[in-house]
Amino acid sequence: MPKSVLVIGAGAVGLAAAMRCAQSGAEVVVVDAADAIGTQTSARNSGVVHAGLYYPQNSLKAKFCVSGREMLYAHSARFDVAHSVVQKLIVASDDAQIDALRALQTRAAGNGVTLDMISGTAAQDLEPELRVEAALVSPKTGIVDAAGLMLSYLTQAEARGATLILNTTVDTIRRVRDQIVVTGTSAGDPFDMAFDRVINAAGHGAYDLASQYWPDAPKPPKLWAKGSYFAISGPAPFDRLVYPLPEQAGLGIHYTVDLGGQGQLGPNVDWVDQMDFRVDPALEPVFRDAVRQYWPAVDDRTLHPAYAGLRPKIEGGDFVLAARDGIITFLGIESPGLTASLALGAWASDQIS
């Protein structure tokens, strides 16, 4: 008998899990509280396919990022998801930062990611508007159309019989004998259904659900780590992505470009107490100052408030993956969760048999 599987959350992780489970023969239902797929964190990120260079060796972030990146590139090529391996430069703005670049190079090597160190002049040859002392080149970093990626997961899941139900919020999850009973509301009507397995991929909603069946689940912080973006007027100033050295809760305000050629700066880290996605225009000088040290010509450009996301952080700082009593739980799937989505989905599928 095929297993019946409920996936809660139609973001990148839930949809990848749904696709993998459906491909393995399970009967899959995906629900999401929103009226469309991928409207939360999966729509509010940099769209970068990370190489896997930042994360501590043997962390789940390192493992799932490195394997997920290769899976993502192969999947995108196969299913015509727009992507480009544009590469990334991580820059040192002064001599003092060069040791930190070397430390990052060593950490990346521990994750199997090779980065070459180049001089400031060589960096400027690659990207004429850059003014840096040195840079690391990440050849495997890319960008992907996150919306197209999620649609491809859904299309493949539906091709194997999966069903998507939107406007459906799960409120409770409990184990009853050998089944998992979930309750909630669908288009305003209450429902109560039983499944063999449940995958909790509810992003910011995952902890509230997990705490019902896993009392000592790792907790999110009390505040949200908001990241805002500003769009850059005019043509894209760089072909490659440009990152400063990482900081405590994020990767530092960096330059990315989307597949349409729109350059942007972000995200910053702003601890907030409301789930609020507005970008404060007053932050503009913060963004300008942050990049001026490696991109002085930013002062020739106008920066426009663009969008913001909230990082789904969790105690411990790594991804949390758990499979207990038929319930598979994803907590703390912040960056590089988009990159890792296929590897996370494959892991979830392995847990349902």
Identify the bridge partners of residue 122 per DSSP, sorted by sequence position.
none
Q: What tokens does 144 get?
A: 């992907």
Query: Residue 230, exposed/middle/buried by CB under 10 A (0-12, 13-18, 19+)?
Result: buried
Our finding on whether 90 is near ligand FAD (CB under 6 A) is no
Our finding on whether 138 is near ligand FAD (CB under 6 A) is no
Query: Residue 309, exposed/middle/buried by CB under 10 A (0-12, 13-18, 19+)?
Result: buried
Which of 6, 7, 32, 62 binds ligand FAD (CB under 6 A)? It is 32
What one-letter code names the amino acid at 25? Answer: G
Cβ atoms within 10 A of the Cβ of 302, count?
Answer: 10
Q: What is the dihedral of CA 312, 59, 69, 23, to 10 degrees?
A: -80
Q: Segment contacting ligand FAD (CB under 6 A): 11-19, 211-219, 270-278, 287-295?
A: 11-19
Which of 12, 217, 327, 346 binds ligand FAD (CB under 6 A)? It is 12
Residue pair 34/40 in contact (Cβ under 8 Å)? The answer is: yes
Our finding on whether 310 is near ligand FAD (CB under 6 A) is yes
Q: Tell me the residue number closest to ligand FAD, measured at CB.
A: 337
Our finding on whether 338 is near ligand FAD (CB under 6 A) is yes
Our finding on whether 76 is near ligand FAD (CB under 6 A) is no
Which of 205, 263, 326, 345 binds ligand FAD (CB under 6 A)? It is 205
| Beta-sheet pairing, 48-49 with 163-165 | unpaired
Our finding on whether 20 is near ligand FAD (CB under 6 A) is no
Which has the closest alpha carbon to 148: 15, 336, 344?
15
Our finding on whether 48 is near ligand FAD (CB under 6 A) is yes
Our finding on whether 217 is near ligand FAD (CB under 6 A) is no
Would you give the binding string for ligand FAD spanning residues 290-309, x where CB under 6 A is met? -------------------x
Our finding on whether 11 is near ligand FAD (CB under 6 A) is yes
Our finding on whether 41 is near ligand FAD (CB under 6 A) is yes
Our finding on whether 45 is near ligand FAD (CB under 6 A) is yes
Q: Segment contacting ligand FAD (CB under 6 A): 86-94, 199-207, 212-220, 278-286?
A: 199-207
Query: Measured from the CB of residue 180, what is the shortest distance to ligand FAD in angstroms?
Result: 14
Our finding on whether 39 is near ligand FAD (CB under 6 A) is yes
Would you say 97 or 264 has its CB closer to ligand FAD? 264
CA distances from residue 105 to 48, 92, 102, 199, 241 in whole angstroms, order as listed: 19, 12, 5, 36, 17
Distance CA 176, CA 275 (A): 34
Helices then strands, counting H and E runs in the chain, come out as 8, 21
Which of 4, 5, 6, 14 binds ligand FAD (CB under 6 A)? It is 14
Distance CA 208, CA 210 (A): 6
Footprint on this chain of ligand FAD (rule: CB under 6 A) = 8-14, 31-34, 38-42, 44-48, 50, 169-170, 201-205, 209, 227, 267, 309-311, 330, 333-339
